[in-house]
Amino acid sequence: MIRMGEGLKRFSWIVLALLLLCGLPAWAQSQSAASSAPAAAAPPPGPAMDAPLNVKAAQPPSADDLAKGDPSGTKTGTVNDVVISDPNKGLTLADTVNQVGQNRIAINFVWTLVTGFLVMFMQAGFAIVETGLCRAKNANHTMMMNFMVYGFGLFAFWVCGFALQMGGVAPAGTLGGAMPLNSEHTLSLLGKTWGIFGSRGFFLSGTTYDVAIMVLFLFQMVFMDTALTIVTGAAAERWKYVAFAVSSVVLGALTYPLFANWAWGGGWLSQLGVNFGLGHGYADFAGSGVVHAVGGLTALAVAMIIGPRIGKYNRNGTPNAMPGHDIVIVLTGCFILAFGWFGFNPGSTLAASGNGALRIGSIAVNTMLAGCTGSFGALLYMWMRYGKPDASMSGNGLLAGLVAITAPSGFVNTVSSAIIGLVAGVLVCLSVEFVERVLKVDDPVGAISVHGTNGLWGVISVGLFADGASNYGGSWNGVSGPVRGLFYGDATQLIAQLIGVGTLIGFVFGLSYAANFVIDLVVGQRVSAEDELAGLDIPEMGALCYPEFVLKPDSMPVGVAMSKATEMASPMRVAQETA
């Protein structure tokens, strides 16, 4: 019994030892698996993208409820309105997610289109501002230039301008990609790649027959047309209509798109940050440079070539007053332009949803403020210098402030906007005097000063005042982080802006001058002296703008006409006479 008992005991020990030997590692493994189980375990299965969702929790209104009408607006726009791809399945998660994405792009489409429509209406503002600042005998001609520049520009931009400008801009994220615009011609020079022009989108045909590209085209087209209409003001009252037509087509098809590509289409100016470490590259939010300086510098080129109006300068070179015929439409036009600018600047986000697009509120207020302080600046300057608040220069001050804030509107705060506008208002007065008295370039509406001078000021002001608070999707021109100017710690941004200014003055002016010089040689830019004295309405257009008005006789000697004009002149003009 004892032996049996000892044997059993020994056996029990052996079994226990085996159990320990085998069991411990197994226990340890199970413990380790248990401790890591929460991390390694697969997430609880979510609803499949194509599985029908239970929409009852959303409490959609019934058909009977809807039939009673919805005066409170609480039953309209519910889960019932989400588009279902497969009626047999009902609403799925995939349907919901797709609807969210489409809603974002739809908001951006509508925003971009509506702001584009506002910018298009600016053509009416430009037309009556310029016509009002011209003499009545040229009103039909001036109005018709502003009217047809829309068509000439649009056609040229559709044929090739848009492709040169935006043909390589993809991806345009806020509009869903616009991916067919994927071909930018580049030059390899000085060890870097330089984007020169795009090459997709001629006639908006082929793969560019795309909804996002149509939206982009409309928005960019009305911007381009704004640049074109600036030139007609500086060359008014003596520009041959056929020369105007050819010049406008060249600007819309070639000059404007080239610079716009460099700034907005992925071209070399926009890459100055990536390639050379200059801030975020040339930053021009809504086009002080691209639109206004291009238009203003082309206006300077044309005005130089075409020469001043007969009677503008005396034999000793002093300027004479040639007041416009309707200050009412001038100031009405300024209001229309200020209204349209709410499309110009806030619309340039190309988005109202996502990627920091909610800055549209800030951009709109900046735009308002700079226009306001611009008119203050001009009004105060004129009042202090000539003793009266001049109406046309107050209007030009408003426009100058708006032009100047166009580039920085997306990057600056309200205090900076007010300063930029105020400087622009004073600058436009100084520039008008400089252009008229020193350069002796005749600019009937002040387009060179409003758009050229202040367009350049707007470009520079980005490099000074950009405050680093904006963040459009985390980067600008491929450089991470927000845009900062010199006053906020980034001097290199100012250099990028100044290179843009140099390009505008050197290249854009040069190209515009050369093109219009050739046009002058081929078709002639200027009307005959007889036609000019008679007023261009009959000789050029075949009809008077105001047939029932008695116009001032033009057969009188220029000196007499000038003295009569001086009698009616604004304070600034009278001061010019006596200076």
Residue 520: how many other CB atoms lie within 10 Å: 17
CA distance 476 to 483: 7
d(CA 547, CA 233): 23
3-state DSSP percent of the chain in helix, strand and coil, to 5: 65, 5, 30
Q: How far is the CB of 456 from another protein (least distance, A)?
A: 9
Provide the minimum distance between the beta carbon of 161 and another protein in the complex, in angstroms, as a whole number. 22
CB of 314 to another protein, least distance (A): 7
Q: How far apart are CA 304 and CA 96, in angstroms?
A: 61
Across 384-527, the runs of DSSP E, i.e. the strands, are 475-476, 479-480
Binding site for another protein (CB under 8 A): 190-192, 272, 276-278, 300, 304-305, 307-308, 310, 312-315, 317, 439-441, 491-492, 494-495, 498-499, 501-503, 505-507, 509-510, 513-514, 517
Give whichever of 185 and 440 is closer to another protein, judged by the CB atom: 440
Nearer Cβ to another protein (23/277): 277
Strand partners, 476: 479
**Least Å distance between CB 574 and another protein?**
20
Of 323, 338, 321, 459, nearest to 396 by C-alpha is 338
User: Which C-beta is closer to another protein: that of 92 or that of 516?
Assistant: 516
Nearer to another protein, 116 or 463 (CB): 463
Backbone torsions φ then ψ of 184, nearest 5 degrees: -110, 125
Nearer to another protein, 120 or 495 (CB): 495
Tell me how far apart the alpha carbons of residues 27 and 23 are, in angstroms, rounded to a whole number: 6
382 token code pair? 């004129």
Shorter beta-carbon distance to another protein: residue 278 or 369: 278
In angstroms, give the least distance from the CB of 316 to another protein. 9
> Could you tell me where the beta strands, DSSP code E, fall in 190-296?
192-198
Integer CA distances (angstroms), 444 to 44, 125, 236, 303, in order: 74, 16, 7, 10
The amino acid at 370:
A
* Closest approach of another protein to the CB of residue 521, in Å: 12
Alpha-carbon distance 465 to 475, whole Å?
A: 18
- Residue nearer to another protein on the CB measure, 22 or 514: 514
CB nearer another protein, residue 176 or residue 463:
463
Dist CA 263 CA 251 (whole Å): 16
Pick 113 or 498: Cβ nearer another protein? 498
Give the shortest CB-509-to-another protein separation in angstroms: 6
CA angle 261, 104, 204 (to 5 degrees): 40
Integer Cα distance of 298 and 410 in angstroms = 26
Q: What is the spatial distance between Cα 37 and Cα 45, in angstroms, rounded to a whole number?
A: 16
For another protein, the closer of residues 154 and 407 by Cβ is: 407
Tokens read off for 285: 């939010």
Is 371 in contact with 405 (CB distance < 8 Å)? yes
Smallest gap, in angstroms, from Cβ of residue 173 to another protein? 29
CB of 527 to another protein, least distance (A): 12
Would you call 184 helix, strand, or coil by DSSP? strand
- Bridge-based pairing of strands 192-198 and 184-189 is antiparallel
CB 311 to another protein: min, Å: 8
Residue entry with tokens 């009852």: 56
Least distance in angstroms from the C-beta of 149 to another protein:
24
Please name the helix (run of DSSP H) or strand (run of DSSP E) that holds residue 27, with its range, or none: helix 2-40
Q: How far is the CB of 304 from another protein (least distance, A)?
A: 5
Nearer to another protein, 92 or 247 (CB): 247
CA-to-CA distance for 232 and 240, rounded, in angstroms? 11
Of 284, 478, 444, 288, nearest to 374 by C-alpha is 288
Which CB, 312 or 359, lies closer to another protein?
A: 312
Q: Could you tell me the smallest distance in angstroms from the CB atom of residue 268 to another protein?
A: 9
User: Strand, helix or coil at 189?
Assistant: strand
Compare residues 307 and 389 and give the one whose CB is closer to another protein: 307
CB 59 within 8 A of CB 15: no
Nearer to another protein, 151 or 502 (CB): 502
Give the shortest CB-495-to-another protein separation in angstroms.
5
- Spatial contact of 525 and 516, defined as CB atoms under 8 Å apart: yes
Shortest gap between Cβ of 500 and another protein (angstroms)? 10
Burial pattern 389-422, b for ≥16 Cβ within 10 A else e, equals: bbbbbbbbbbbbbbbbbbbbbbbbbeebbbbbbb
- Of the CA atoms within 13 Å of residue 327, those in its CB half-sphere come to 11
Cβ proximity to another protein, 445 vs 495, nearer residue:
495
